[in-house]
Amino acid sequence: DFEVLTSTLETHLSGKSETGGASDLAVQANLSSGRKVGGVLDYSVANLFIDRMLGDDGDRGKVIDHVVREFELGIERISESIAGGNIDEIERNAHSLKGSLGLVGARDAYDLAKGMELSAVSHGANFNPDHWLMLIRNAFEPLRACLVELKSE
């Protein structure tokens, strides 16, 4: 777990991805057919989750839109917890976001939410929740691009 977290942090801190630091989110997420994504999204997990959550209308777009909104709300809850200065609440909200991200197979964002959660639990003097939130938000953009791509499948 520590090695995965370290790799994820290096990717987001340096701005480099496994695709060589490409700025285009779709390229960064490697959305080509037969895709193996460098940590952004495990498509097999995402597709299983989406298929299980489909309503009677079979509209994948609705499920994906709901997932994206939930992630946005989770990030907002963390932001509000940071503004309130409540480390226990930051930890709880990071834990909740981590669980949601894990269900969908959002690897990088999951690892970052886990890192934030563990840092908050340790209550270390060097815990900088604003920095963790920035990293999570940055990881969310390529994730959003991957999820939007799934709408058309």
pTM for this model (two decimals): 0.75
Return d(Cα 7, Cα 110) in angstroms, integer: 13
List the alpha helices (DSSP H) in 15-126.
Answer: 25-28, 43-53, 60-84, 87-104, 107-122
- In the chain, the DSSP E strands lie at none
DSSP at 1: -
Tens of each residue's pLDDT in the chain, 153 residues:
555 555 655 665 555 444 333 334 433 444 433 444 457 999 999 999 999 999 888 899 999 999 999 999 999 999 999 999 999 999 999 999 999 999 999 999 999 999 999 999 887 667 899 999 999 999 999 999 999 988 877
